[in-house]
Amino acid sequence: MAQAKIGIIGGSGLYKMDALKDVEEVQIDTPFGPPSDALILGTLEGTRVAFLARHGRNHTLLPSELPFRANIYAMKQLGVEYLISASAVGSLKEEVKPLDMVVPDQFIDRTRNRVSTFFGEGIVAHIAFGDPVCKNLAAVITDAVASLKLPDLTLYRGGTYVCMEGPAFSTKAESRLYRSWGATVIGMTNLPEAKLAREAEIAYATLALVTDYDCWHPAHDSVTVEMVIANLQRNGVNAQKAIQETVRRLAENPPPSEAHSALKYAIVTPLDKVPTATKEKLGLLLQKYL
């Protein structure tokens, strides 16, 4: 199978990477079913990368319908070690303005309906998740964005991403509550992805593209899909440049990541007691520990 060390998951408004060369579309099946869409392998800055449109290229999947396990497992099957997520988010802070970028370092889970583990069916594992983002990958992303000196936008290093269930946007009371918790941005997708990437020992970090002020701001209209997509179209080019520069730096100097050994002390069940079918299903995740 084709291979790529760097994966990119594009969210709302980012359904393809324009700069990819020598593109190959790969239909991948996984023990968790098919991913959101075909994976697009291509060369960016001289390096093979794998791109996936999180909601499908025609945006046909709700956040609650996303096949998170298949998406991460497919990346693992391609040999991905670093996964960059690009996501639209609403701002929960006055100073974080639409068109700004944030590289969050924390998450708060407000989802109710997501499968966010590969484990179960006879094998128990508890990954450490106190630091849910790979700090070295996050640093590569922030340094890459900063180096571009993009005009008229502020880049925030760190911040808390609230992951809500959706698909309806928040109520004002919810939005005010998240603000009172000190959270920075809100979206509907990144937390299950980050958990599963960690279980799959893939370094994960998010480039969050601020598209709106959610619904709490007295001087701004409440978020609408139109607002999100319009603002993403405005800074989609910058987002792609930022990802391209991140890939260049990652390929030149791939950083170590604690995520790459996340399962070392996480698996509780003795592996010889794990049912064969489960061992086979999770083969790629377990192989180095068997």
Ligand X SMILES: CSC[C@H]1O[C@H](OP(=O)(O)O)[C@H](O)[C@@H]1O
Question: What does the alpha-carbon distance between residue 193 and residue 211 come to, in Å, rounded to a whole number?
Answer: 21
- 17 annotated as ligand-binding: no
Are the beta carbons of 187 and 66 closer than 8 angstroms?
A: no
Residue 212 assigned to a binding site? yes
Task: Provide the minimum distance between the beta carbon of 92 and ligand ADE in the complex, in angstroms, as a whole number.
Answer: 9
Q: Which does 54 bind (CB under 5 to 8 A by kind): ligand ADE, ligand X, none?
A: ligand X
Catalytic residue among 22, 100, 212, 221: 212
Tokens of 57: 């290229």
Check whether the bond before 167 is cis (ω within 30° of 0).
Answer: yes
189 assigned ligand-binding residue: yes
Contact 265, 121 (CB under 8 A): no
Active-site residue identified among 37, 100, 105, 214: 214
Q: What distance in Å separates the CA atoms of residue 266 and residue 239, rounded to the nearest whole number?
A: 35
Look up 100 and say whether it is catalytic. Answer: no
Site string for ligand ADE, 162-181 (x = CB under 6 A): --x----x------------
Binds ligand ADE (CB under 6 A): choice among 186, 196, 202, 207: 186
Residues 273 and 62 sit within 8 Å (Cβ to Cβ) = no
- For every residue of 238-287, DSSP letters joined together read HHHHHHHHHHHHHHHSPPP-GGGGTTTTTB-S-GGGS-HHHHHHTHHHHG
Nearer to ligand ADE, 219 or 290 (CB): 219
Does 179 carry a binding-site annotation?
Answer: no
- Cβ-based nearer residue to ligand X, 28 or 194: 194
Residue closer to ligand X, measured from CB, 177 or 225 = 225
Draw the binding track, 57-96, toward ligand ADE (x: CB under 6 A; -: no contact).
Answer: -------------------------------xxx------
> Interior CA angle at 31 toward 287 and 16, to 5°?
105
Binding site for ligand X (CB under 6 A): 11-12, 54-55, 63, 87-88, 166, 187-189, 225, 228
Catalytic residues: 212, 214
